[in-house]
Amino acid sequence: MRKLSTGLSRDEVLARLAGYRSEDLPARGGRTFAYVYDPARPDIDELAHEVYASFLDVNGLDPTVFPSLLRMENEVIGIVADHLGGGPDTVGTFTSGGTESIILAVKAARDAARVSHPEVLAPEVVLPVTAHASFQKACHYLGLTPVLVDVDPSTFRVSPGVVRAAVSENTVLLVGSAPSYAHGVVDPISELGQLALELSVPLHVDACIGGWLLPYFTQLGEQVPPFDLSVPGVTSLSVDLHKYAYCAKGASVVLYAEAGMRRHQYYACADWTGYTMINAGVQSSKSGGPLAAAWAVLHAVGQDGYGELAAQTLRARRALVAGIDDIPGLRVLGRPEMALVALAAAAPDVNVFAVCDEMAARGWYVQAQLGYRGLPASVHLTLTASSEEQIPALLADLAECATVPAAPVDPELLAAVQTLDPDALPDDVLGALLPMAGLEPGGGLPEKMAGINALLEAMSPRLRERLLIEFLGAAFRP
Ligand SMILES: Cc1ncc(COP(=O)(O)O)c(C=O)c1O
């Protein structure tokens, strides 16, 4: 349908969109273990919907004409800063998500270095391989070079010595995760902070996924290593409210220990014919919906409510980790410190990609993580408050799925993709490779992904990136 209709009735519009939505993964119900954060609190969801809608048409482009947004943002930043060890000089910005918060923190570090170290012409960011991909995206957008360093293969944490060895005179930022997405472990932030102070380099803590939840885990008696702005040497920190604060999507915060650093995040342009544009973040016009809904959810859930949601989440993680011990084919990678668990094969005949497919056939969404630089492939589970009551059934199905053999992948094809040089292949040839890899251009993903994942894993990351860009381009066609 390309031509705009003459106007559908409200009922027709809603019915058609409900039909579209029926193909989506369920965002509620506790069976989707990535992408969505379900508090199992319909009252909170209802409030978020209502408030989001009521601020939908308010524009965050100019907080002087919509002062409600200024007020709500200052209140939200104050609450988040207090939660995460902020001091009197701590400031921040409400952003659309973790990626925007990270892009802004990287921009601030780059522009601060332009002033303090004008001799640095090719700025670098030292990144553990477990740091979220959005740092590499930020480097790509902003013209910095990511310097990737390996993590310990048993704890999945970066060692400060390895970071130190990767620092050069061009380094403008160090990064640690609290915790990392893939394995759910916290990097040694205190030691990284010491290193940052010694080298006079800023340190960003990516607490996008963990920043809101970890302090509640500490209150519940978990041994969470220090990771927030109170750690000496930490200069900025990102925390997503649309994750474990259960706010509506489009809600994250980037905090700076010192206001001076945030100045480098801002952008102003007076050099044109229209209004002087002053933007705190990447977006210019933006709906007030996400901020207002976040304000509402934070205040409605409150300390006690978040404490209870955290307790449910912690019980879910403990039950899952304990239960995996009884499944001979699977093992937990590292020691998950929060609510993200990665399961690897514990026997040669177990294929984690096949486990993901089999789980999907049973109505669970668990996420395949490809092996990378010697770290094993795994099944990722993001647990939330709604996971707790699902754990017994989840474990029973995981145990069954771990025994299902994977369909064999053509060894010649596997060998062939390993030898392809991504930079030597023109775009159209890559497009032609898509069906070979099982990815039909324009079609959805097949039900069984194990073979595709095996091929994707065998390729170089660069080839994978190029191939998936072709896939995306083919999918997004009107
Ligand atoms: C540790 C970490 N950092 C950053 C991000 C990026 O957040 P977003 O998807 O909101 O851009 C994520 C997302 O899962 C994450 O887990």
* Angstrom distance (rounded) from CA 34 to CA 340: 9
Q: Residue 303 Cα, ligand 1 centroid: separation in angstroms?
A: 23
344, β-bridge pairs: 331
- Per residue in 332-388, pLDDT tens? 999 999 999 999 999 999 999 999 999 999 999 999 999 999 999 999 999 999 999
In this structure, the strands spanning 124-128 and 171-177 are: parallel
Q: Residue 11 Cα, ligand 1 centroid: separation in angstroms?
A: 36
Query: What top-level class would CATH report for the domain 303-401?
Result: alpha beta
Q: Residue 152 Cα, ligand 1 centroid: separation in angstroms?
A: 22
Name the average pLDDT for the chain.
96
- Per residue in 138-160, pLDDT tens? 999 999 999 999 999 999 999 99
Q: Residue 413 Cα, ligand 1 centroid: separation in angstroms?
A: 33
pLDDT band at 56 (very low <50, low <70, confident <90, very high): very high
Q: Is the pLDDT of residue 432 over 60?
A: yes
* Angstrom distance (rounded) from CA 249 to CA 461: 29
Mean pLDDT of the region 393-403: 98
What size, in residues, is the chain?
Answer: 478
Please report the atom of ligand 1 found closest to the CA of residue 177.
1
Q: Residue 245 Cα, ligand 1 centroid: separation in angstroms?
A: 14
Q: Residue 169 Cα, ligand 1 centroid: separation in angstroms?
A: 29
Instruction: Write down the pLDDT at residue 443.
Output: 67
Ligand 1 pocket: which of 100, 209, 282 to mutate (most atoms within 8 A of CB): 209
Helices (H), 160-288: 160-166, 189-199, 214-219, 259-263
382, β-bridge pairs: 340
Please report the atom of ligand 1 found closest to the CA of residue 102.
4
pLDDT band at 435 (very low <50, low <70, confident <90, very high): confident
Please report the atom of ligand 1 found closest to the CA of residue 210.
1
Ligand 1 pocket: which of 33, 37, 102, 134 to mutate (most atoms within 8 A of CB): 134
Mean pLDDT of the region 272-297: 97
Q: Single out the residue of 108, 171, 107 nearest to residue 140, CA to CA.
A: 107
- Judged by DSSP in three states, 357 sits in helix
Distance between the two ends of the chain, CA-based, in angstroms?
Answer: 9
Please report the atom of ligand 1 found closest to the CA of residue 96.
10
Mean pLDDT lowest among 187-201, 359-373, 412-426: 412-426
Helix (H) or strand (E) holding 115: helix 98-116
Please report the atom of ligand 1 found closest to the CA of residue 100.
11
Mean pLDDT of the region 181-201: 98
Please report the atom of ligand 1 found closest to the CA of residue 131.
1
Q: Residue 429 Cα, ligand 1 centroid: separation in angstroms?
A: 32
Around ligand 1, the residues with Cβ closer than 6 Å are 97-99, 132, 134, 177, 181, 206, 208-209, 240, 252
- Which CATH architecture group holds 53-297? 3-Layer(aba) Sandwich (3.40)
pLDDT > 90: percent of the chain:
88
Please report the atom of ligand 1 found closest to the CA of residue 97.
10
Residue closest via CA to ligand 1's atom 5 equals 98
Structure tokens at 468: 């998936």
Instruction: Write down the pLDDT at residue 422.
Output: 87
Residue closest via CA to ligand 1's atom 9 equals 98
Torsion of the alpha carbons at 75, 80, 84 and 87, rounded to the nearest 10: -20
pLDDT band at 5 (very low <50, low <70, confident <90, very high): confident
> Which segments within 150-230 are labelled E, that is strand?
171-177, 203-206
Q: Is the pLDDT of residue 285 over 90?
A: yes
Q: Residue 13 Cα, ligand 1 centroid: separation in angstroms?
A: 32
Please report the atom of ligand 1 found closest to the CA of residue 340.
16
* Angstrom distance (rounded) from CA 227 to CA 191: 10
Instruction: Write down the pLDDT at residue 3.
Output: 87
Structure tokens at 224: 């969470």
Q: Show Cβ contacts of residue 387 under 8 Å, excluding neighbours closer than 6 positions.
A: 30, 33, 313, 316, 320, 339, 381, 394
Q: Residue 90 Cα, ligand 1 centroid: separation in angstroms?
A: 22
On whether the CB atoms of residues 205 and 239 are closer than 8 A, the answer is no
330, β-bridge pairs: 345
Q: Residue 208 Cα, ligand 1 centroid: separation in angstroms?
A: 6
How far from 136 is each of 95, 103, 131, 320, CA to CA, in Å?
Answer: 19, 9, 9, 32
The domain limits of the chain are 53-297, 303-401, 411-475
